[in-house]
Amino acid sequence: MNKKQPLLTDTPGRALIVFALPMIIGNLFQQFYNMADSIIVGRFVGENALAAVGASYSFTNVFIMIAIGGGIGASVLTSQYLGAGKLREMKTSIATFLITFLVLSSLLACFGFLFNPTVMRLLKTPEDIFSDAVLYLQIYFCGLPFMFMYNVLSANFNALGKSVIPLALLIFSSVLNVFLDLFMVLKLGMGVEGVAIATVLAQGISSLLSFLILLRFLGTFHTEGRIPLFDCSMLTNGTKIAIPSIVQQSIVSIGILLTQSAVNRFGSSALAGYSAGMRLESLAIVPMIATGNAVSTFTAQNLGAGQKERVRQGYRTSYLIILSFSAILLIATQLFYRPILSAFLNVESSPVAYSTGASYLRFIGFFFCFLVPVQSV
């Protein structure tokens, strides 16, 4: 292997922090990207529009978790092959998972498009926002393959030690999404439909750029002969790694679905406040998740290279990183919940929306401390 890999050569603490930081920043932009729809419709369309987008979140989150879990499975194999210097196998592994998740995401998109009204009914979505929630989901599922491909591509960049590339793409995608959201809502007056279309367009452009950049980067790894594009044994091994992560993430998503169903019964105002709190929670846990993913890549590369002691040192560093973020988030949610919620709710929002969001944020702040042993493993 002719490339220096900092995750294998730098001191574990420095290597992990330098590698994790772009992932943390990038994932913050990813969440901001996801939050843009809620912020813009909440501020410029109204409380019901925010509730409609929020009602969709618990359902779409299930599919997001599947994409993240699949990306973890793909990235672990890529990291192991890279750490062992098996470049042909590394390229085949990447191609195998890209093809697999393109097919899987297309099937899931069809399922979501056809059955999302039924799911929204089962979740007791309030009637005054039902049609907007279904419309948002139908447009969202048209772009689901883009979201899946982007997550798998980003996971592979991270596995290759290039966490700066997903960061740059996420910044571009976030800015583009916000611009398109504002154009659709303020200029064209399209409301919920407009922000959904903007999200799909931004995801599509970003996933295409990510794919082209990955192809060019893989070309810098010199290998002989034709590279197989699919390998069933690699798919089996990657699936064994991905399934526990997908199941873990899906259990969390199912819990969110059940909570959403309970909140929906209290009406659109309570749902709007809850949706704002949920979006902020998803932003707050980013550092923990990104650090956990960085440790996964660090561990896979070093195990592939036979450097087990570095894995232990990296784990201890990740523990300190996550503990520090947990303390900061606890303080922020207890002291600054009012100005934070104001980003989502306008002056016409009801007291119920504000009080629901505030109660949720102040309660969930104590939960972040318990993520320390979970995301570091």
- Average pLDDT of span 318-331: 79
Does 298 score more than 50 pLDDT?
yes
CA distance 208 to 252: 30
Task: Read off the tokens for 74.
Answer: 């793909």
Does 373 score more than 50 pLDDT?
no
Task: Read off the tokens for 160.
Answer: 């290759």
Instruction: Please enumerate in sequence order all residues whose Cβ is within 8 A of that of 30, keeping only pairs 6 or more positions apart, or say none.
Output: 170, 174, 286
Residue 269's pLDDT is: 77
In a domain, residue 143? The reply is: yes
In a domain, residue 300? The reply is: yes
Supply the range of the domain harboring residue 320: 6-375
Mean pLDDT for all residues in the chain? 78
In a domain, residue 189? The reply is: yes
In a domain, residue 1? The reply is: no
pLDDT band of residue 205 (cuts 50, 70, 90) is very high
Task: Report the domain count for the chain.
Answer: 1
Does residue 3 or residue 32 have the better pLDDT? 32
Structure pTM? 0.70
Task: Read off the tokens for 126.
Answer: 């309030």
In a domain, residue 351? The reply is: yes
In a domain, residue 109? The reply is: yes
In a domain, residue 157? The reply is: yes
Q: Report percent pLDDT > 70 for the chain.
A: 88
pLDDT band of residue 376 (cuts 50, 70, 90) is very low
In a domain, residue 38? The reply is: yes
- Average pLDDT of span 220-246: 80
pLDDT digits (tens, 9 = 90+) for 186-195: 888 888 888 8
Q: Which residue has the tokens 């309660």?
A: 363
Task: 209-217: list long-range contacts, CB under 8 Å, 24+ apart.
Answer: 209/169, 209/172, 210/149, 210/150, 210/153, 210/154, 210/157, 210/165, 210/166, 210/169, 211/98, 211/149, 211/153, 213/165, 213/169, 214/94, 214/153, 214/156, 214/157, 217/157, 217/160, 217/162, 217/165
Residue 238's pLDDT is: 78
pLDDT digits (tens, 9 = 90+) for 163-188: 778 878 888 888 888 888 889 888 88
CA distance 84 to 105: 30
Residue 185's pLDDT is: 84
